Amino acid sequence: MNIALALALKLVIDHNTGAAATPKFQFEHVASPAKTSGTVAVIAGTPDRGSADVSALIDGLTPTVEDEPGANLFFAANTWGGRIRFDLGAIADVSEIRSYSWHPDTRAPQVYYVYGSDGASPAFDPAPGTKKDLASCGWKQIAFVDTRPKSGDAGGQYAVSITDTTGSLGRYRYLLFDVFETESDDVWGNTFYSEITVVTK
């Protein structure tokens, strides 16, 4: 487990390998996935043809094996990644964000920024292009996540928990995940995202 503190932000990363990686997605420090209310959409990037629909990220269902493309959201080979927007339906107090992935190789680690917005700014853009500065269009950076191990096997299951020591990450209606490939040594660097859970009060 790695714990990084920046101001009040708390980032916890769990990594299951071998027999510990099961379809139950049980981790030592991070809770298992749960269904998230709201809607989710890809607003930049191109999902792979073998990928699940983006709605698989919030259905509470997890893959049954370590390499199950149709149960994960992942972006097309030889691309940089993409952007995923969550709409919670109304402004809510977000207490925790959790993300999960599973793959036997370099598609397992997670690399992304997550931003939030209440949508109230006159400059708010719900689907900003990749060249647009997010801070200038109503988005606030919440955290940066990079679970790539410094050494050893990158495969397995990863779970990330983002919380704040105050008990709240902020009041948001929208969350934007700006996800990136984990490596560029070959064209297969885009993560198999199994589930993203947003916990609100």
Give pLDDT tens digits for 76-116: 999 999 999 999 999 999 999 999 999 999 999 999 999 99
CA distances from 175 to 21, 114, 144 (A): 28, 7, 13
Whether the pLDDT of residue 4 is over 70: the answer is: no
Give the global pTM.
Answer: 0.94
Residues in the chain: 201
Q: How many CA atoms lie within 13 A of 52 on its CB side?
A: 22
pLDDT in tens, 121-135: 999 999 998 888 999
pLDDT score recorded for residue 153:
87
* Helix, coil or strand: residue 57: helix
pLDDT in tens, 40-70: 999 999 999 999 999 999 999 999 999 999 9
pLDDT in tens, 143-175: 999 999 998 889 999 999 999 999 999 999 999
Q: In whole angstroms, what separates CA 39 from the centre of its chain?
A: 15
Q: Where are the domains of the chain?
A: 2-200
- Mean pLDDT over the full length of the chain: 94
CATH-assigned architecture of domain 2-200: Sandwich (2.60)
